[in-house]
């Protein structure tokens, strides 16, 4: 009887060793990746803004993307702070981690959702792009929805709409809400999808 109880206890303790490992993605996993340029129209401090940037990502099973992206403000955005010379403009740049979910990437036209978690800086510059102030560090969270066209096997064209939420603004007479706003981006993606 004791032998049966001891054997049952040993088997119960050893059972997790023989159990199959649990993983988030099971079965055969495919990998791909892309890189590309992005142009974004947005609103900054109540004024139209134009940003350029890039995106790159590691694609897992044609559905999940872990990547990075960055954006830089190119257009001249006036600063509302009194006492600052009229010829100074806002500069903003941010980059960070991006996650994306693509439900049907093999369809000619498909949708995806992604979010950017970024760190960045803002500062004042003159018309010759010389810095006038020190960096003010910011955090940006930018969720997006995209429509993508599979042009050829290695090239995709993506149009997305987003809303940028910015935190940590402390200079130029600006507040977080001044740098937060909607955006629309066109991205050219090249890679193995």
**Rounded distance between C-alpha atoms, residue 154 and residue 35, angstroms:** 11
Query: Domain map of the chain by residue range?
Result: 30-192
Q: Which helix (H) or strand (E) holds 2?
A: helix 2-18
CA 105, chain centre distance (Å): 18
Per-residue pLDDT tens digits for 12-28: 666 665 566 677 677 78
CB 114 within 8 A of CB 131: no
CATH topology of domain 30-192: Porin (2.40.160)
Tens of pLDDT, residue by residue over 41-83, are 999 988 999 999 999 999 999 999 999 999 999 998 887 665 5
The answer on pLDDT for 187 being more than 60 is: yes
Q: For residues 46 and 150, what is the distance between their CA atoms, to the nearest angstrom? A: 35
**CB-based contacts of 16: which residues, under 8 Å, 6+ apart?**
none
């Amino acid at each position: 009887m004791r032998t049966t109880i001891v054997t049952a206890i040993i088997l119960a303790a050893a059972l997790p060793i023989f159990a199959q490992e649990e993983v988030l993605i099971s079965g055969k996993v495919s990998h791909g990746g892309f890189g590309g340029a992005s142009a974004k129209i947005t609103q900054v401090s109540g004024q139209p803004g134009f940003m350029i940037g890039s995106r790159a990502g590691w694609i897992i099973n044609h559905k999940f993307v872990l990547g990075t992206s960055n954006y830089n403000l190119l257009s001249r955005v006036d600063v509302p702070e009194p006492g600052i010379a009229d010829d100074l403009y806002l500069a903003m740049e941010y980059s960070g981690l991006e996650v994306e979910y693509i439900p049907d990437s093999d369809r000619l036209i498909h949708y995806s959702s992604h979010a950017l978690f970024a760190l960045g800086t803002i500062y004042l510059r003159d018309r010759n792009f010389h810095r006038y102030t020190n960096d003010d560090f910011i955090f940006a969270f930018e969720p997006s929805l995209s429509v993508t066209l599979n042009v050829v096997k290695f090239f995709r064209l993506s149009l997305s709409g987003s809303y940028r939420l910015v935190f940590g603004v402390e200079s130029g007479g600006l507040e977080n809400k001044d740098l937060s706003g909607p955006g629309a981006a066109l991205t050219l993606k090249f890679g193995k999808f």
